[in-house]
């Protein structure tokens, strides 16, 4: 079980400015620009991240009409884990047609700033960029019928202007692969 | 009793000799794990259940932590958890490099999983008992 995150629910989201797999730099939206943003730390080699991936893709498609922004970040040390290299990330995005940018955190600064611990580790921000949910997508990586229920629940609450009933859960997955 | 079972050990007499021979043929079962993956205890539970289901003693599992890159290289450890029966990986990893990472298994129904398919595990154990696990 992962330890509690340092990115507290209710606090402003740390900054995020990273290139995607084609080199385009992405940042968080400006306050008030979109009603909600999902930021998920993920990677290419972790079975938990892979098991949850399709559910996150479905969620991104489902909430796009609501104006929800979705950003995926990979902070793993690509030298020791070549399957998480920028090239491998790009190959995957192109082959699978990801509906959201896959950002490359080469310095791992973003993971440090956000206190991301594992892949996947998801955050939901409200329109004013305050963290309203952080944790796992749902309760069981092995059960696709869970359909990222915790994340959907949090997004629905934020879009309705309410507080998520379950603002934080324990993120479950592979540890971020820090550089030595 | 099936060959490979080790659950009964007469203390003396001809039966002792027979049982010793059977125990000697019990497969060598290893579980290698790394703390960066949260599921090694689930893997151990699954492995213990699998061994019980084919009549093997789960207390004979050789559980070893892999904590450094050097350990991983030496043990040809391609991720946690790795389960080997008589040296044979439950789901042979192909050309995956050794390293401190988490294994990606594919279940029989196609789902990606951090743990091997329990049926693959039982099958590997059964084959080893029958002498086909080398």
Length of chain A: 180
Cβ of A40: how many Cβ atoms within 10 Å?
25
The CA distance from A3 to B130, in Å, is: 45
The CA distance from A63 to A60, in Å, is: 5
Q: Do B112 and A1 touch (CB under 8 A)?
A: no
Residue B7: the pLDDT is 39
Confidence tier at B19 by pLDDT (50, 70, 90): very low
Is any Cβ of chain B less than 8 angstroms from the Cβ of A92?
no
Domain coordinates in residue numbering, chain A? 33-175
Residue with tokens 């489902």: A62
Which chain A residues touch B101 with a CB distance below 8 Å?
Answer: 45, 81, 174, 177
The DSSP secondary-structure symbol of A88 reads H
Residue with tokens 């205890």: B41
The better pLDDT of the pair B124, A1 is held by B124
Mean pLDDT of A28-47: 97
The CA distance from A16 to A26, in Å, is: 8
The CA distance from B66 to B81, in Å, is: 10
Is any Cβ of chain A less than 8 angstroms from the Cβ of B102?
yes
Confidence tier at B12 by pLDDT (50, 70, 90): very low
Residue A6: the pLDDT is 57
Residue A43: the pLDDT is 98
Cβ of A115: how many Cβ atoms within 10 Å?
16
Q: Residue B35 in contact with residue B89, Cβ under 8 Å?
A: no
Residue B16: the pLDDT is 46
CA distances from A32 to A17, A134, B22 (A): 18, 20, 72
Pairing relation of β-strands A118-119 and A174-175? Answer: antiparallel
Nearest-CA distance A66 → chain B (Å): 30
Residue of A43, A47, A140, A170 to mutate for B, most B C-beta atoms under 10 A: A47
Which chain A residues touch B96 with a CB distance below 8 Å?
Answer: none
Measured CA angle at B71 (ends B69, B72), to 5 deg: 60
Residues forming a β-bridge with B83: B31
Residue with tokens 């820090």: A178
Q: Convert the pLDDT of each residue in B47-81 to its tens digit.
A: 999 999 999 999 999 999 999 999 999 999 999 99
The DSSP secondary-structure symbol of A34 reads S
Determine, yes or no, domain membership for B112. yes
The DSSP secondary-structure symbol of B79 reads S
Closest chain B residue to A175 measured between Cα atoms?
Answer: B36
Q: Convert the pLDDT of each residue in A83-125 to its tens digit.
A: 999 999 999 999 999 999 999 999 999 999 999 999 999 999 9
Q: Do B112 and A47 touch (CB under 8 A)?
A: yes
Is any Cβ of chain B less than 8 angstroms from the Cβ of A176?
no
Q: Convert the pLDDT of each residue in A120-165 to its tens digit.
A: 999 999 999 999 999 999 999 999 999 999 999 999 999 999 999 9
Query: In terms of DSSP H, where are the helices of chain A?
Result: 47-63, 86-96, 109-114, 149-159
CA distances from A28 to A5, A20, A101, B62 (A): 20, 13, 12, 49
CATH value at residue B82: 3.40.30
Contacts of A67 (CB under 8 A, 6+ apart): A34, A35, A36
| Number of Cβ pairs < 8 A linking chain A and chain B | 44
Confidence tier at A61 by pLDDT (50, 70, 90): very high
Determine, yes or no, domain membership for B3. no
Mean pLDDT of B35-50: 94
Residue A63: the pLDDT is 98
Q: So what's the architecture of A33-175 in CATH?
A: 3-Layer(aba) Sandwich (3.40)
Is any Cβ of chain B less than 8 angstroms from the Cβ of A175?
yes
Mean pLDDT of A4-14: 79
Q: Check whether B26 has a pLDDT greater than 90.
A: no
Give residue B103's domain range: 27-129
ipTM rounded to 2 decimals: 0.81
Q: Do A174 and B113 touch (CB under 8 A)?
A: no
Determine, yes or no, domain membership for B13. no
Q: Do B99 and A51 touch (CB under 8 A)?
A: no
Q: Do B101 and A1 touch (CB under 8 A)?
A: no
Residue B3: the pLDDT is 38
CA distances from A15 to A18, A118, A121, B116, B117 (A): 10, 19, 17, 39, 41
Determine, yes or no, domain membership for B57. yes
Count structural domains, chain B. 1
Mean pLDDT of B15-26: 52
Q: Convert the pLDDT of each residue in B72-126 to its tens digit.
A: 999 999 999 999 999 999 998 887 889 899 999 999 999 999 999 999 999 999 9
Contacts of B7 (CB under 8 A, 6+ apart): B55, B57
Q: Do A51 and B114 touch (CB under 8 A)?
A: yes
Instruction: State chain A's mean pLDDT as an integer.
Output: 95
Residue B21: the pLDDT is 44
Is any Cβ of chain A less than 8 angstroms from the Cβ of B105?
yes
Q: Do B99 and A81 touch (CB under 8 A)?
A: yes
């Amino acid at each position: 079980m992962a330890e509690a995150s340092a990115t507290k629910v209710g606090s402003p989201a740390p900054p995020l400015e990273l290139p995607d797999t084609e080199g385009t730099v992405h940042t968080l939206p400006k306050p008030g620009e979109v009603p909600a943003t999902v930021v998920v730390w993920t990677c290419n080699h972790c079975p938990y991240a892979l098991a949850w991936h399709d559910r996150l893709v479905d969620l991104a498609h489902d909430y796009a009409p609501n104006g929800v922004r979705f950003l995926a970040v990979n902070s793993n040390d690509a030298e020791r884990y070549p399957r998480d290299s920028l090239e491998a990330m790009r190959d995957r995005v192109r082959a699978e047609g990801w509906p959201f940018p896959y950002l490359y955190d080469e310095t791992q600064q973003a993971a440090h700033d956000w206190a991301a611990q594992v892949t996947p580790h998801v955050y939901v921000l409200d329109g004013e960029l305050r963290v309203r949910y952080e944790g796992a997508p749902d309760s069981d990586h092995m059960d696709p019928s869970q359909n990222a229920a915790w994340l959907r629940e949090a997004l629905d609450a934020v879009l309705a202007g309410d507080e998520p009933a379950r603002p934080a859960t324990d993120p479950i997955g592979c540890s971020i692969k820090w550089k030595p | 009793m099936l060959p490979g079972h080790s659950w009964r050990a007469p203390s003396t007499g001809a039966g002792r000799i027979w049982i010793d021979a059977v125990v000697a043929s019990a497969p060598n079962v290893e579980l290698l794990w790394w703390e960066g993956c949260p599921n090694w205890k689930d893997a151990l539970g699954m492995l213990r259940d699998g061994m019980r289901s084919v009549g093997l003693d789960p207390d004979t599992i050789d559980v070893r932590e892999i904590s450094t890159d050097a350990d991983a290289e030496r043990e040809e450890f391609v991720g946690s958890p790795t389960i080997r029966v008589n040296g044979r990986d439950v789901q042979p990893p192909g050309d995956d490099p050794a390293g401190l990472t988490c294994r990606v298994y594919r279940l029989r129904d196609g789902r990606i999983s951090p743990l091997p398919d329990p049926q693959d595990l039982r099958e590997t154990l059964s084959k080893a008992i029958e002498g086909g696990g080398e």
